[in-house]
């Protein structure tokens, strides 16, 4: 990330945290529509005080579109409409869809979607796919992601997370990220499932949203 971009991020941080660009919001809305259906999406957007988004198609560019607070309103509206349990399940599925829609749009991931990538060792593919995803989010979403690992697991740490921005919750609320990571790993591993769990959440008062990712697939293919 460049210094110039860091300055921009810092300026945003004092007020609204940061912004998702048009391209990312566009993919998020496609994903939400796929999972919720268009009527339910319209209701969620109204509840989130973003009704205008139901009737417009955003251009696929990197102009700032929605502040973090609006992204978090969407998270909260889904849970409010559907209840926490179903709401978080829907966010999880939206995260899966987000990966599938996103891979068409973000060249970074596509560049590893070839034969050379497929023949790399599994552990390498797992780590690389998360690194690329983190790079894309750091570069295009104003969020701050870093990946680290222990002997038992990987830790995906978001010190700035749009999904729970400004929310105060009683449960880890960022299932959208859990879903995005799960689907990324499913794809990177050629169809294996990895356990991904949000273990701390800024919405709960923790300093970061942290996701614990098993090193090995849950069910060997
Ligand atoms: Zn979060």
Going from the Cα of 218 to the center of ligand 1, the distance in angstroms, rounded, reads 24
Going from the Cα of 120 to the center of ligand 1, the distance in angstroms, rounded, reads 31
Residues in the chain: 221
Going from the Cα of 196 to the center of ligand 1, the distance in angstroms, rounded, reads 14
Distances (CA, A) of 147 to 132, 136, 138: 10, 13, 12
22-32 per-position pLDDT tens digit: 999 999 999 99
Going from the Cα of 44 to the center of ligand 1, the distance in angstroms, rounded, reads 19
The answer to whether 167 and 76 have CB atoms below 8 angstroms apart is yes
Q: Determine the structural domain holding residue 86 and report its residue range.
A: 3-214
Going from the Cα of 116 to the center of ligand 1, the distance in angstroms, rounded, reads 34
Nearest to 156 by CA among 133, 190, 183, 173: 133
Q: What percent of the chain has pLDDT over 90?
A: 79
pLDDT of residue 216: 92
Q: Does 73 fall in a domain?
A: yes
Going from the Cα of 119 to the center of ligand 1, the distance in angstroms, rounded, reads 34
CA–CA–CA angle 106, 111, 31 (5° rounding): 30
The residue among 118 and 217 whose pLDDT is bigger is 217
Q: Does 220 fall in a domain?
A: no
What is the C-alpha to C-alpha distance for residues 26 and 50, in angstroms, rounded to an integer? 14
138-149 per-position pLDDT tens digit: 999 999 999 999
Q: Lowest mean pLDDT: which of 89-98, 165-174, 211-220?
A: 211-220
pLDDT of residue 172: 97
Q: Does 166 fall in a domain?
A: yes
Q: Does 186 fall in a domain?
A: yes
Q: What is the mean pLDDT of residues 193-204?
A: 97
Q: Does 185 fall in a domain?
A: yes
The answer to whether 209 and 201 have CB atoms below 8 angstroms apart is yes
Instruction: State the sign of the Cα–Cα–Cα–Cα dihedral 133, 138, 202, 64.
Output: negative
Place of tokens 């609204």: 16
Edge-to-edge strand list for the sheet holding 153-160: 144-149, 153-160, 209-214, 196-200
**From the CB of residue 102, how many other CB atoms can be counted at a distance below 10 Å?**
21
Going from the Cα of 98 to the center of ligand 1, the distance in angstroms, rounded, reads 16
Q: How many structural domains comprise the chain? A: 1
Going from the Cα of 121 to the center of ligand 1, the distance in angstroms, rounded, reads 31
Mean pLDDT of the chain: 88
Q: Does 129 fall in a domain?
A: yes
Going from the Cα of 75 to the center of ligand 1, the distance in angstroms, rounded, reads 10
DSSP class per residue in 81-146: HH-HHHHHHHHHHHHHHHHHHHHHH-HHHHTTSSHHHHTS-HHHHHHHHHHHHHHHHHHHSS-EEE
69-120 per-position pLDDT tens digit: 999 999 999 999 999 999 999 999 999 999 999 987 775 555 555 677 788 8
Going from the Cα of 143 to the center of ligand 1, the distance in angstroms, rounded, reads 10
* Residue 181's pLDDT band (cuts 50, 70, 90): very high
Going from the Cα of 55 to the center of ligand 1, the distance in angstroms, rounded, reads 28
What is the C-alpha to C-alpha distance for residues 72 and 50, in angstroms, rounded to an integer? 12
Supply the pTM of this predicted model.
0.89
Q: Does 221 fall in a domain?
A: no
Q: Does 219 fall in a domain?
A: no
Contacts of 42 (CB under 8 A, 6+ apart): 51, 54
Q: Lowest mean pLDDT: which of 131-140, 191-200, 211-220?
A: 211-220
The CATH number given to whatever domain includes residue 132 is 3.90.1520.10
Going from the Cα of 170 to the center of ligand 1, the distance in angstroms, rounded, reads 13
pLDDT of residue 112: 58
């Amino acid at each position: 990330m460049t210094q110039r971009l860091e300055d921009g991020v810092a300026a945003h941080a004092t007020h609204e945290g940061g912004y998702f660009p048009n391209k990312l919001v566009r993919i998020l809305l496609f994903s939400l529509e796929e999972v919720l259906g268009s009527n339910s999406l319209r209701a969620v957007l109204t509840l989130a005080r973003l009704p205008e988004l139901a009737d417009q198609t955003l251009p696929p560019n990197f102009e700032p579109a929605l502040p973090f607070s609006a992204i978090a309103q969407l998270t909260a509206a889904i849970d409010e409409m559907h209840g926490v349990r179903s709401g978080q399940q829907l966010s999880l599925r939206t995260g899966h869809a987000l990966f599938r829609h996103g891979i068409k749009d973000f060249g970074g991931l596509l560049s590893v979607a070839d034969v050379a990538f497929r023949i790399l060792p599994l552990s390498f593919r797992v780590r690389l796919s998360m690194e690329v995803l983190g790079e894309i989010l750091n570069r295009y979403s104003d969020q701050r992601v870093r990946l680290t690992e222990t002997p038992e697991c990987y830790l995906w740490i978001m010190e700035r997370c749009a999904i729970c921005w400004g929310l105060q919750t009683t449960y880890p609320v960022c299932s959208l990220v859990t879903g995005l990571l799960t689907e990324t790993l499913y794809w990177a591993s050629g169809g294996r499932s990895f356990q991904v769990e949000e273990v701390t959440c800024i919405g709960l008062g923790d300093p970061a949203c942290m996701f614990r990712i098993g090193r090995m697939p849950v069910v060997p293919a």
